[in-house]
Chain A
Amino acid sequence: MRNRIIAGLSVALLAVLSWGIYGYHWTQEYRLAQENQSLRSINDLAAHLDGMETSLVKSQVASGNGQRILYLSQLAMQSTAAGTDYAQLPAEATSLSYVGQFVNQVGDISSQFAYKLAGGTNLTPEEEALLTEVHNRLLSVNQTVQSLLIRVHTEELAWLKPKMTLGQRLFGGQVALADADDGKEGNATTVRSGLEQLDASLQKLPPLSYEGEYAIHEVSEALGLRSEAVISSEQAAVKARTLLNQLGIDSANLEYAGESQGDIPCFIFRQDTVYLEMTKRGGKVRFFQDTRQRDVRTWSVSNATMKAISTLTALGWPSMAVTATTDNGSSIRVECVNESQGIRYYPDKVVVEVGLDRGQIVGLNATPYWAYHHERNVEEIKLFVAEARARLRSDFKISESRLTLIAKPGNQEALCYEFRGRYGVEEYLIYLNATDGREEMIKRVILTPRGEFLQ
């Protein structure tokens, strides 16, 4: 009996040992795969930063605009790649990344400048100075990452935490962290702490000043609500009830449910399936949604679209034009923009959702309208439509054209001719600046199961 127990225990011990060895090998393989992935990312990051720095200086020294555009485009692509590499490096927790931000902004600036040069305009002395400033910062970032990479190779620098000794592993000891691992200056003991030091050094520098997609902009107030006075929650509740009644919803049980502190501060109201936000300035509807269960469709898309327009008119938006509809099954989403004096103002958008069971409004989002709508001094048109047409390819077959105001990166706007037409079998929207004829934007029309999509 005793021998049997010993034999059984021995088999169990062997099984446990085998399982442990098997598990250890698996862990090692995964660890190695992860290590290789991280090494690949940091090597790529260093290579791309190096490439960025080289492309930038070449773009500065190039005398012809063709060469400058080439190097600035290369710089933009290398920045995107560097951003991808950086985002894949191991991290311990979520935080804002100034290195990632800087890399993105370099790509943004280079794209903007390449676009400007392609339009036949030279860079201003301020823009040339910005390139020099970017180069100085890039040099520093590049040097830091290259030195970290060298230390990864020579000192086997750990990624997140300093490596533990066998004794610390066995007896649960803690590794003493250097100052550098707390974001302070000093010799970093991990790759992550080195990058955090770099983050801290970039954070101290003034923000790069330019107009682009990734330029840091804070809209201090909604342009469409600047002239409105701040109201109380009680006053907002009265306006909320009026709105719901206009939408055909009984508001008897409407309750105040708090405030939001976004770019457009609002009072929040709820009632069963209804969620409603009224702006603190002026008590305008910013967002409305009714998630009630919808019945069988009885309304056509065209009737529902007309309902959306008539509702907007009743709510105080009398001149809205439909730009797109999306089929959501039991409802349709209708996108409308402000249109006055023959110009479509694309930034001034209101989205309305209409239930197809009884044609009732089930959603409304006026955030873009309140954020961007304002009295504009529209630039003088210096290009007649015939002149603008002549700038397009001769084989682009135009089906529609109109004047529009479009949003550009960095909170800018441009007055443009919108030409819808076909090139070959595909359909496009081309936007030509109405003051200087520059091609501002091209959109490709895609037909998806839910509706038309501009790519």
Chain B
Amino acid sequence: MQKRDLGKVLWIGLLFCLLTSGIAFGALGDRLLSQGSRGEEVRELQSRLIQLGYVVGPLDGIFGPKTEKGVRLFQQERGLPVDGSAGPQTLNELKLMTGESTTAGGTPIGPQNSDVNLLARLVNGEARGEPYLGQVAVAAVVLNRLTDPSFPNTIAEIIYEPRAFSCVDDGQINMAPDSSCLQAAQEAFSGNDPSQGALFFFNPAKTSNKFIWSRPQIIQIGNHIFAR
């Protein structure tokens, strides 16, 4: 092989390596992601969407119809143009919403959302399919218990108190919450309480427990009665 040919082969090889490494290790936001896209960026996109409660199918790095549906819902709920593709605007918003909290000086201090996530899981387990307002009310019941002396003092202790919530007993608490449940948990944390200070809630069609029926009732939202 002549020297010139060898040089050509080396140049082509180098170019190929640069191109493929660009695809393999491209950062989220380097290119538009849409149906048919594959790779680590898609995987990161899916992971961030799952983190916010959007259903995207398996975390496999393949931008399929379910991922597109998740992107569309995210765009709709964030007030972005809904096209099902993850372009710069969508990805910037996604990065912002899944980013870490910081101090005023800019020091990262983690997402600071463990309580919100746990509360959203409870809402998902107890009030999946209920109207949004009812979901906020269920989250608010847990927060109301925080300031009541008869209940434990942290969200985790309240939720995992034996026999306190049926979704803990049957394992539904471990299901990933959807975006509506996360939003409801956020809303309750920000102070909205449609239950008006309730400490208990129950579905009258499914509960015969005498104690729960004896509590003074405040309001019914969806299938749940909220009581003091």
Given contacts A260-B196, A262-B219, A291-B132, contact A296 B150 (CB under 8 A): no
Interface hit among A80-88, A310-318, A431-439: A80-88
A317 to B169, CA, bound (A): 47
Shortest C-beta distance, B6 to chain A (Å), equals 53
A426 to B103, CA, bound (A): 6
Shortest C-beta distance, B47 to chain A (Å), equals 16
Given contacts A94-B163, A105-B149, A262-B197, contact A427 B103 (CB under 8 A): yes
* A90 within 8 A of partner (CB): yes
A102 to B151, CA, bound (A): 10
Interface hit among B15-23, B35-43, B53-61, B75-83: B75-83
Shortest C-beta distance, B85 to chain A (Å), equals 15
| Pairs across A and B, CB under 8 Å, 28 listed | A83-B152, A84-B153, A84-B154, A84-B157, A87-B162, A88-B162, A91-B161, A93-B211, A94-B164, A97-B151, A98-B150, A101-B149, A214-B149, A262-B219, A263-B196, A268-B219, A287-B192, A287-B194, A289-B194, A329-B79, A351-B190, A351-B191, A368-B191, A422-B105, A426-B103, A427-B103, A449-B101, A450-B186
* B205 within 8 A of partner (CB): no
Chain B hits for A427, CB < 8 A: 103-105
Chain A stretch 260-298: residues in CB contact (< 8 A) with chain B = 260-264, 268, 275, 287, 289, 291, 293-297
Q: Enumerate the 4 nearest inter-chain pairs by beta-carbon distance, A residue then B residue, closest first.
A: A262-B196, A425-B105, A427-B104, A330-B79
A297 to B89, CA, bound (A): 12
Chain A hits for B190, CB < 8 A: 326, 333, 351
A453 to B186, CA, bound (A): 12
Chain B hits for A367, CB < 8 A: 193, 196
B161/A87 in contact, CB under 8 A: yes
| Contacts beyond the supplied A94-B211, A367-B193: 12 A-B pairs with Cβ under 8 Å | A84-B153, A263-B196, A263-B197, A296-B82, A329-B97, A331-B79, A363-B192, A425-B104, A425-B105, A426-B103, A445-B103, A446-B104
Interface size of B by CB at 8 A reads: 58
Chain B hits for A356, CB < 8 A: 79
Given contacts A84-B152, A93-B209, contact A449 B98 (CB under 8 A): yes
Shortest C-beta distance, B65 to chain A (Å), equals 21
- In the complex, per-residue mask of B151-172: 1 if CB is within 8 Å of any chain A CB, else 0: 1111001101111100000000
How many A-B residue pairs have C-beta atoms within 8 angstroms? Tell me: 156
Chain A stretch 45-68: residues in CB contact (< 8 A) with chain B = none
Task: Point out residues on A near B: beta carbons under 8 Å.
Answer: 80, 83-84, 87-98, 100-102, 104-105, 108, 213-214, 216, 258, 260-264, 268, 275, 287, 289, 291, 293-297, 326, 328-331, 333, 349, 351, 356-357, 363, 365, 367-368, 422, 424-427, 444-450, 453
B197/A100 in contact, CB under 8 A: no
Q: Which residue of B lies closest to A261 (CB)?
A: B218
Chain B stretch 113-148: residues in CB contact (< 8 A) with chain A = 132-133, 147-148
Given contacts A100-B150, A330-B79, A356-B79, contact A87 B218 (CB under 8 A): no
Shortest C-beta distance, A114 to chain B (Å), equals 17
Chain A hits for B219, CB < 8 A: 258, 260-262, 268
Q: Which residue of B lies closest to A447 (CB)?
A: B102
A397 to B76, CA, bound (A): 42
- In the complex, per-residue mask of B178-208: 1 if CB is within 8 Å of any chain A CB, else 0: 0000010010001111111110100000000
A261 to B218, CA, bound (A): 4
B112/A446 in contact, CB under 8 A: yes
Q: Which of A88, A100, A216, A297 contacts B79 (CB 8 A)?
A: A297
Given contacts A425-B106, A446-B103, contact A329 B197 (CB under 8 A): no
Chain B hits for A96, CB < 8 A: 150
Chain A hits for B80, CB < 8 A: 296-297
A214/B97 in contact, CB under 8 A: no
A84 to B162, CA, bound (A): 12
Q: Which of B107, B152, B217 contacts A425 (CB 8 A)?
A: B107
Chain A hits for B150, CB < 8 A: 96-98, 100-101, 104
B196/A264 in contact, CB under 8 A: yes
Chain B hits for A331, CB < 8 A: 79
Shortest C-beta distance, A389 to chain B (Å), equals 20
Given contacts A93-B163, A351-B191, contact A87 B157 (CB under 8 A): yes
Shortest C-beta distance, A101 to chain B (Å), equals 4
Q: Which residue of B lies closest to A446 (CB)?
A: B101
Shortest C-beta distance, A70 to chain B (Å), equals 22
B153/A330 in contact, CB under 8 A: no
Q: Which of B163, B191, B212 contacts A91 (CB 8 A)?
A: B163
Q: Which of A83, A97, A268, A295 contacts B153 (CB 8 A)?
A: A83
Q: Which residue of B lies closest to A444 (CB)?
A: B103
Query: Which residue among A80, A95, A258, A261 has the maximum number of chain B CB atoms within 10 Å of its CB?
Result: A261
* B88 within 8 A of partner (CB): no
B149/A108 in contact, CB under 8 A: yes
Chain B hits for A258, CB < 8 A: 219-220
Shortest C-beta distance, B228 to chain A (Å), equals 8
- In the complex, per-residue mask of B68-95: 1 if CB is within 8 Å of any chain A CB, else 0: 0000000011111110000000000100
* B12 within 8 A of partner (CB): no
A293 to B97, CA, bound (A): 20
Q: Which residue of B lies closest to A326 (CB)?
A: B190
Query: Which residue among B112, B154, B157, B190 has the maximum number of chain A CB atoms within 10 Å of its CB?
Result: B190
* B26 within 8 A of partner (CB): no
Shortest C-beta distance, A293 to chain B (Å), equals 7
Query: Which residue among B104, B107, B162 has the maximum number of chain A CB atoms within 10 Å of its CB?
Result: B162
Chain A hits for B183, CB < 8 A: 328
Chain B stretch 212-228: residues in CB contact (< 8 A) with chain A = 212, 216-220
A98 to B148, CA, bound (A): 11
Shortest C-beta distance, A175 to chain B (Å), equals 20
Chain A hits for B82, CB < 8 A: 296
A453 to B197, CA, bound (A): 23
B101/A447 in contact, CB under 8 A: yes
A329 to B82, CA, bound (A): 13
* B13 within 8 A of partner (CB): no
Chain A hits for B147, CB < 8 A: 213-214
